[in-house]
Amino acid sequence: MSKASLFDSLRLHEEGGVISIVGAGGKTTLMERLARDIQERGETVLVTTTTKILLPSGGPADQIIIAPQAGDVMKQARPLRAKYRRLTAACSYLARENKLVGFPAEEIRALEKENLFRWILVEADGARHLPLKAPASHEPVIPPSSRHVIAVAGLEAIGQPLTEEWVFRSHLFAAVTGLPPGARITARAVAVALSHAAGIMKGCPPGACRIVFLNKAETDERRERGREVVQFLRAMDNGRPNRVIIGALAREEEPLECHEL
């Protein structure tokens, strides 16, 4: 186990690129923590989405640009970049939901081609703040230019019943994993959901580095559950991720446990 930064533990390509974040159980927290790590490295980062995200609080470290197209975003971003290493961008704002609406996947490529930011972080689906999910037919919306795809899953769901209380779109999770609705969620079922072609990382671009973050490892029992998920993933013939990290995103003092697959 290591107390390295999240950025270092993820072992991202140093030259930058698009990172898409999918799944449930801590996507926004991971994106926020990773964006901060990138800032602290002295590098530039654009935070955005292909779906919807809650409006960030803003402040001296995070300026928000709302513009309909990539070109408009970059026109506003250029004069700000000298002062702010991190910017958040969206195409519109829904006041009734207090959410930012993101860009189509092809617009993310246009943002990247401007070469104004070393890193672009994209939240690529939603999960209603639940620990686990299975994607609907229209999601996740992963930009094809993504160099890394990070899937997040909450370990607190293992041992709980497969219901909508614990799993977003639990009927789809049941269909993907073969676990009957209402049955206890197992480490094997989580591994299947993370590796299945119709599972959490559905639509991951060929050649992208696939990373799993098993979150909420706040007890020895949960860490052990995470290791069980890793062992099941190692045995998968298809869809196996490149690496798995076990940790607790909300507790930065907790070490991150890294497994290469």
Task: Tokens for 80, please give them.
Answer: 């700000």
Which pLDDT score is estimated for 156?
A: 97
Mean pLDDT of 244-256: 91
Is the pLDDT at 169 greater than 90? The verdict is yes
Is the pLDDT at 165 greater than 90? The verdict is yes
Q: What is the pLDDT of residues 90-99, one digit of tens each?
A: 999 998 888 8
Q: Flag the least confident range among 109-113, 133-137, 210-214.
A: 109-113
Is the pLDDT at 233 greater than 90? The verdict is yes
For 6-51+121-260, which CATH class?
A: alpha beta
Is the pLDDT at 62 greater than 70? The verdict is no
Inter-axis angle of helices 187-195 and 220-234, nearest 10: 50
* 3-state DSSP of the chain: CECCCHHHHHCCCCCCEEEEEEECCCHHHHHHHHHHHHHHCCCCEEEEECCEEECCCCECCEEEEECCCHHHHHHHHHHHHCCCCEEEEECEEECCCCEEECCCHHHHHHHHHCCCCCEEEEECCCCCCCCEECCCCCCCCCCCCEEEEEEEEEHHHCCCECCCCCEECHHHHHHHHCCCCCCECCHHHHHHHHHCCCCCCCCCCCCCEEEEEEECCCCHHHHHHHHHHHHHHHCCCCCCCCEEEECCCCCCCCCEEEEEC
Is the pLDDT at 2 greater than 60? The verdict is no
Is the pLDDT at 17 greater than 80? The verdict is yes
Q: What is the pLDDT of residues 50-60, one digit of tens each?
A: 998 888 765 54
Q: How confident is the model at residue 247 (pLDDT cuts 50, 70, 90)?
A: very high
Q: What is the pLDDT of residues 32-44, one digit of tens each?
A: 999 999 999 999 9
Percent of the chain with pLDDT over 70: 96
Cβ–Cβ < 8 Å for 179, 118? no
Which pLDDT score is estimated for 135?
A: 96
Q: What is the pLDDT of residues 188-215, one digit of tens each?
A: 999 999 999 999 999 999 999 999 999 9
Give CA 256 to chain center in angstroms.
16
Percent of the chain with pLDDT over 90: 75
Instruction: Supply the mean pLDDT for the chain.
Output: 92
Q: Higher-confidence residue: 149 or 97?
A: 149
